[in-house]
Amino acid sequence: MQLSELMSKRVICLSLGKELGYVSDAILTKELKIIVIIVCMPRKGLARLCPFLFTQSCERINVECIVNIGEDVILVKK
60 neighbors 38 (Cβ within 8 angstroms): yes
Total domains in the chain come to 1
| pLDDT tens-digit series, residues 43-72 | 888 777 887 788 888 999 999 999 999 999
Domain that holds residue 29: 3-76
41 neighbors 24 (Cβ within 8 angstroms): no
How far apart (Å, rounded) are the C-alpha atoms in residues 46 and 24? 20
| pLDDT tens-digit series, residues 5-39 | 888 899 999 999 999 999 999 999 999 899 999 99
Give the CATH number, domain containing residue 37.
2.30.30.240
Q: Is the pTM of this model over 0.95?
A: no
Q: Which amino acid is at 65?
A: C
Name which of 67, 72, 71 is nearest 13 in CA terms: 67
77 neighbors 18 (Cβ within 8 angstroms): no
